Chains A and B, each alone.
Chain A
Amino acid sequence: MPSTEIGLQKRRKSQGGHEFLEATLTMALFFGFMFLIIDISMAVFIKNALQTAVEEGVRTGITETLLTGTSYLTDSIAKSVVNNSKGYLSSNKPTCQVQVQYYDPDANPPGYVTTLASGHNTVLIVSVLDHIYHPMGPILQGWGYNGQRYTAPMPLKLGAIATGAMQPCSNGQCPAATNPAPPTCP
């Protein structure tokens, strides 16, 4: 056997397992990027879905629409947000997941109200806060720190907020805004 061939065989032997190592490293990088892209896309998609939902909620509120099964504007707005959230919000106790606030800019001083005042503008603020998304890849998961050590990965918290101006209502015609007996939230 020529000496060149023997040399090549030795080299091939010494390189045994390198391909496996390289493939492992490459795959780790590849999957890391793939999960990162999927997680970012999912987060953006869910945030957009929530944004659309709260905007629909504002629309329900400023048009003073009471959806079937609701008697108060807050409940109707929360239900509308859940209905338009593409399934990301649970239909169980909508007002526990959706925050509805009424702000009276014409009051002196301006502030949050629970009852709409006749002849006043009302700024409606609808928000979904801290919606949990569990990323697939470890890069976006992050790690919590409990003050002593790093703990299990934390989920991403997504939120959306929208505002709108309600027409001033006339005396006796203002819709019932806040439910005096809201459901107990967990």
Chain B
Amino acid sequence: MQGFPQLGVGISYRPIWRQAVLAHREQLGCLEVIAEHYLRGLPEKYAELDQLRAAFPLLPHGIGLSFGTDAPLDAAHLRNIAQLVERIQPAWFSEHIAFTHVPGWHIGHLASLPFTHAAVDAVCRNIRRWRATVGVPLCLENIAYMVTLPGDLTEAQFLTEVVEREDCGLLLDLHNVYTNAMNHGYDATEFLAALPLHRVVQIHISGGHDEDGYRMDSHSTPTPEPVWELLRFTASRTSINAVIIEWDVQLPAFEVMQREVGRAQAILRGECDDVARHADRLGAIVH
């Protein structure tokens, strides 16, 4: 998307890889950090953040602001995020089109919104509250959802309405698209084609697992081939400012992340990634 810097391919940072990312900084275009991991005021975490910031462009990614709650963003949480953003000075901040809590009750993770005009209005109100407090551009992410809620819009219409109305960037999570397509029976590329791809700033890719015939967005395995295909599809249709590899559970050796990064870089360069394909197969055997 125009107006955003090109940051290349990076990973969602976890402390276990701290030495490795610093040792291989030339291979990573940027790092994503989970904003809520740095809000407790611990000096060690601030020191870590400052060290990473000196080496990489950092992209803070929020998981708890709950833009979709039909109530104002939590003032204390928003203030803490604003302070973190001030410290990092990132090119943009990202969050989810979802809700994680209602007043007095926390779900503990991202829950989907009904695809309705009322939900669009609720998200847009909170985007405006965000903008009144935080001075960096906002990108919002599509989530994987397990519960189908009644609504008068399609998912693509719903996402489009939010980002177009509020002039936001889109953080397109391709494993979420793949997971939703598998679980809710639609075609992932048709879904992507229905999105305003010119709004895409950042991409998330990751792997999940199958459980009782259901696709789980667990961020626990290498990116599967269909998600690489979705990255090729998206990259061939729009400019992507950053791609982030996510991995949350059973964290692998950093070499596995390097392979994922290398393959994403090849796709962004528009190269025929036979080499990356081969490396991936080899990696799967070694892993």
Q: Do A and B originate from a single complex? A: no
B residues at A contact (CB < 8 Å): none
A residues at B contact (CB < 8 Å): none
